[in-house]
Amino acid sequence: MPLADHRQEVFARIREALKVPAPHRHVGHTGEHPTAPNHDDGLPGSETFRAWLPLVGESLEEQITLFAQNSAALKTELHRVGSPAEAAEHLNQLAREVGWHRVATHPHPLALPLAEKVPLPRLVVGPGYAVTDMESCDAAITGCDFLVAQTGSLLISSASAGGRALSVLPPHHIVIASASQMVPDLGTALHQARLRYAREWPSFLSFITGPSRTGDIERILVLGAHGPKRLTVFLVP
Amino acid sequence: MIAFAREFKRMAARYTADLQHRALIQRALRSYEVKRDEFKARYQSWGEARQAASEIKWEAINHLDRYLEEFITKLEARGTKVFVASTDAQARDYIVKVAQENKVKRIIKSKSMTAEEIELNHALEHAGCTVFESDLGEYIVQLRHEKPYHLVFPAMHLTREDISRLFEKELGSQPTNSPEELTMIARSVMRKNYIEADLGISGANFGIAETGMISITENEGNARLGTSLPKIHVAIMGIEKLLPRLEDLALFLPMLATAGAGQQITCYNTLYGGPRQPGEIDGPEQFHLVLLDNHRTEFLADAEQRDSLHCIRCGACLNVCPIFKNVGGHSYGTTYQGPIGSVITPHLRGLQNWKHLSFASSLCGACTEACPVGIDLHHHLLQNRRNATQGKATWWEKPIYAGFVFFMRRPWLYQLSGKLGKIFFPLHKLVNGTLLDPLRLWTKTRDFPDMAPQSFQEYWKEKKAKGPHAPR
């Protein structure tokens, strides 16, 4: 039921304003689309954007290499491992080094089994979890939807990463994903998300690109502004 | 002169004379430029990407009624409470009402220029709420009771020493000159606010019409925390922020980051399509989206300047603007600084009061060149000048132009003035920059160029006499 707002008058003003057409003029506009449009409305689509955005190789190996390069630049700690068991070894080493006391995770086919291999108290989030419980955890272990080679990003959703808070509240975010989740670019990730979710979109989807950061003080980069200070990705075959 | 223009001149004079300040800003912007160029160079064609971005925004703005309707319908279908506000007061009143009805005490807010535009914090504080700005830069300027200096980098005018002193005074922290330690102080202060807040406020960078989602771009994670933990989320966005399709983000997210912050993509780019849905374990129970007009439909009615609604608020035009770099963000006295601010503020707050900003420009076009959606910014500044002065020639302008025409039509008079100039010019040196100098308005802050020993006409005559290939 629409609320008693001011949409009628605003819409009336919009329609009145648009009666005068705007000049179809942009800086450098040629009057023609640079490449063939691939949507009904004649606008370039993400398949076309690909030709202008940073280049991504076609093979999976090239994409993994690019993802690794981007991760290094972003200070994402990427580990290519041979099996989930190898990921667990790395993870336990990490837990000992940093001195974790407690980890959080969620019911997920890759993340939960990995978390279960860490011999520490564990919070498995579900309906009605306590935020203060989660806040007391040293790390969160989650899944994700896709890895984006072009930007070194992870696409997560409330469905794939245990809700909204798990991947941002604890100071260390651990993600486990398989190589089959690699996609070349943002456009493909969004398109694949549409195929997966369009029937019933989760209320939350997020591209995560590196650990939380800020440059608000003299434009100097500092990691761990409000979200995780560290982001570790385990890539299993 | 109008009070706003007088204040602008006063502040601009103060900031341009502050060489330390200018050095701070220019150092910060140089490091931005290096990163921006590095990431722009990775594009296979920045020019064509920009063209496409411009076309997509053109489509969205010129069919705004259709896309806005689709957007609202999709959001409402999934439980979002959409409120369309015609004025800033209506938007404030609605948000205050939501806070009061839910007995909200503590509010965690992430960065939103639209909230700045309607001065939302003031209204909420007046209603008895405490508002915590969670973005580091915004938190710093909030503690200083200041307005943001730059629409993307709110605290870029402060050194780490300034911030350390501020935290020492306001938070009782130990002095430090490490940006990292300062960031960690803010982090630990803000942590409990996320957990204890009853309501989270955010802006929105894009609205996706097709799927009914808002997209929020950030680096710190503060917006994500503030939209995950409190039981109510209120987002505010201008009606012009729409994009037709979800996949458009594949273009806009990286372009916004590269143009705005010199990043390939920012750390978090999050889509919100409603409150907590069935089967989800967290997220707010209520999600309110306030869509703000506040004179945007007047812009829309100005077909000539309609493309200024394409703006994605990346701040690239500020970062390259020679005026912004020298007068600084606070001189403008506006919510939106720099070239885009000079173009749109007259529409938001009245042309006669804010026309001076359009005159404070060298018209170099660096802003237009930098704009990732190709807004014709410097021509809009010219149009504002034209609109501001149309039919309003002042009494002294006519005789001045008549004199100019008389002078320029008589070559002998023009030549005579050159000869007289040569006689009087050495005398000018005696009074240069002093109160006796008739050129003082110019010379008090600049050098006056020396006169050439020979006029062009004299040179030409001599050259012709010697033949076309004679050396000078």
The pLDDT tens digits for A77-124 are: 999 999 999 999 999 999 999 999 999 999 999 999 999 999 999 999
Fold exhibited by the domain A57-236 = Rossmann fold (3.40.50)
Domain range holding B436?
Answer: 413-466
Distance in Å, alpha carbon of B291 to nearest chain A alpha carbon = 9
Judged by a CB distance cut-off of 8 A, whether residue B433 touches chain A is no
Q: Find the length of chain B.
A: 472
Distance in Å, alpha carbon of B174 to nearest chain A alpha carbon = 17
Distance in Å, alpha carbon of A221 to nearest chain B alpha carbon = 8
**pLDDT beyond 60 at A31:** no
How wide is the angle at C-alpha B447 spanned by C-alphas B442 and B453, nearest 5°? 110
Measured distance CA(B307)–CA(B284) in Å, rounded: 35
B149: nearest CA in chain A? A216
B42: nearest CA in chain A? A54
Residue B169: the pLDDT is 97
Judged by a CB distance cut-off of 8 A, whether residue A165 touches chain B is yes
Q: What is the count of residue pairs from A and B with beta carbons less than 8 Å apart?
A: 324
- B397 in any annotated domain: no
B319 and B254 in one domain?
A: no
B436 and B326 in one domain?
A: no
Q: Considering only CB atoms, which chain A residues are within 8 Å of B287?
A: 203
Measured distance CA(A7)–CA(B315) in Å, rounded: 30
User: For residue B38, what are the contacts with CB-CB under 8 A and spacing of at least 6?
Assistant: B262
- B14 in any annotated domain: no
Q: Considering only CB atoms, which chain A residues are within 8 Å of B306?
A: 22
Other Cβ atoms closer than 10 A to B160: 16
Nearest to B344 by CA among B308, B294, B371, B370: B308
Tell me whether strands A222-223 and B232-238 are parallel, antiparallel or unpaired.
unpaired
What is the number of alpha carbons within 13 Å of residue B328 lying toward its C-beta? 27
Buried b (16+ CB within 10 A) or exposed e, A66-84: bbbebbeebebbbbebeeb
Distance in Å, alpha carbon of B391 to nearest chain A alpha carbon = 24
Residue B414: the pLDDT is 87
Question: Do residues B331 and B342 make contact, with C-beta atoms less than 8 angstroms apart?
Answer: no
The CA R_g of chain B, rounded to the nearest whole Å, is 27
Choice between B181 and A41, residue whose per-residue pLDDT is larger = B181
B90 and B69 in one domain?
A: yes
Q: Considering only CB atoms, which chain B residues are within 8 Å of A126?
A: 281
Hey, which residues 7-36 in chain B have their CB within 8 Å of chain A?
24, 27-28, 31-32
Q: Considering only CB atoms, which chain B residues are within 8 Å of A227?
A: 220-222, 224-225, 267-268
Distance in Å, alpha carbon of B2 to nearest chain A alpha carbon = 30
Q: How many domains does chain B have?
A: 3
Please give the C-alpha separations between residue B392 and each of B117, B386, B397, B400, in angstroms, as whole numbers: 30, 10, 10, 15
**CATH code at position B177:** 3.40.50.10420
Question: Do residues B241 and A237 make contact, with C-beta atoms less than 8 angstroms apart?
Answer: no
B273 and B316 in one domain?
A: no
Residue A32: the pLDDT is 44
B216 and B120 in one domain?
A: yes
Tokens of A163: 């809700």
B247 and B182 in one domain?
A: yes
Residue A34 pLDDT level (bands cut at 50, 70, 90): very low
* Alpha-carbon torsion, ordered A27, B360, B293, B194, to 10 deg: 100
| Long-range pairs, B189-192, Cβ under 8 A, ≥24 | B190/A226, B190/B108, B190/B132, B190/B134, B190/B139, B190/B222, B191/A135
Q: Strands, DSSP E only, in chain A?
A: 77-80, 103-105, 122-124, 139-142, 146-148, 153-157, 172-178, 182-183, 204-208, 213-214, 222-223, 230-236
Other Cβ atoms closer than 10 A to B236: 27
B349 and B268 in one domain?
A: no
Which of A15, A126, A214 lies at the smallest CB-CB distance from B65?
Answer: A15
Residue A23 pLDDT level (bands cut at 50, 70, 90): confident
B289 and B140 in one domain?
A: yes
Select the residue from A74, A129, A217, A223 to test the B interface by mutation, using most B Cβ atoms within 10 A: A217
| Cα dihedral across residues B354, B341, B92, B244: positive or negative | positive
How wide is the angle at C-alpha B76 spanned by C-alphas B72 and B78, nearest 5°? 130
Beta bridge partners of A102: none
Burial class (CB within 10 angstroms; exposed 0-12, middle 13-18, buried 19+) of B181: middle
Cβ of B265 and A186 within 8 Å? Answer: yes
Residue A25 pLDDT level (bands cut at 50, 70, 90): low
> Position A35: which residue type?
T
B245: nearest CA in chain A? A45
Hey, which residues 56-85 in chain A have their CB within 8 Å of chain B?
70
Judged by a CB distance cut-off of 8 A, whether residue A170 touches chain B is no
B206 and B155 in one domain?
A: yes
User: For residue A68, what are the contacts with CB-CB under 8 A and spacing of at least 6?
Assistant: A78, A80
Residue A42: the pLDDT is 61
Choice between B136 and A36, residue whose per-residue pLDDT is larger = B136
Residue B435: the pLDDT is 81
Distance in Å, alpha carbon of A118 to nearest chain B alpha carbon = 24
Residue B391: the pLDDT is 64
Residue A1 pLDDT level (bands cut at 50, 70, 90): very low
Residue B318: the pLDDT is 97
Mean pLDDT taken over chain A: 91
Residue A33 pLDDT level (bands cut at 50, 70, 90): very low
Judged by a CB distance cut-off of 8 A, whether residue B88 touches chain A is no
B210 and B148 in one domain?
A: yes
Which of A158, A218, A219 lies at the smallest CB-CB distance from B280?
Answer: A158
Q: Considering only CB atoms, which chain A residues are within 8 Å of B274?
A: 203
Residue A44: the pLDDT is 66
Hey, which residues 92-131 in chain A have their CB within 8 Å of chain B?
106, 125-129, 131
Cβ of A10 and B213 within 8 Å? Answer: no
Which of B58, B251, B368 lies at the smallest CB-CB distance from A24?
Answer: B58
Other Cβ atoms closer than 10 A to B105: 13
Cβ of B265 and A209 within 8 Å? Answer: yes
Question: Do residues A190 and B249 make contact, with C-beta atoms less than 8 angstroms apart?
Answer: yes
Cβ of A217 and B182 within 8 Å? Answer: yes
B320 and B287 in one domain?
A: no
3-state secondary structure of A146: strand
Q: Considering only CB atoms, which chain B residues are within 8 Å of A211?
A: 267
Tens place of pLDDT for every residue, chain B, 472 residues? 689 999 999 999 999 999 999 999 999 999 999 999 999 999 999 999 999 999 999 999 999 999 999 999 999 999 999 999 999 999 999 999 999 999 999 999 999 999 999 999 999 999 999 999 999 999 999 999 999 999 999 999 999 999 999 999 999 999 999 999 999 999 999 999 999 999 999 999 999 999 999 999 999 999 999 999 999 999 999 999 999 999 999 999 999 999 999 999 999 999 999 999 999 999 999 999 999 999 999 999 999 999 999 999 999 999 999 999 999 999 999 999 999 999 999 999 999 999 999 999 999 999 999 999 999 999 999 999 999 987 666 788 889 989 999 999 998 998 888 888 888 888 888 888 788 888 888 888 788 888 888 888 888 999 888 876 655 5
User: For residue B408, what are the contacts with CB-CB under 8 A and spacing of at least 6?
Assistant: B414
B344 and B232 in one domain?
A: no
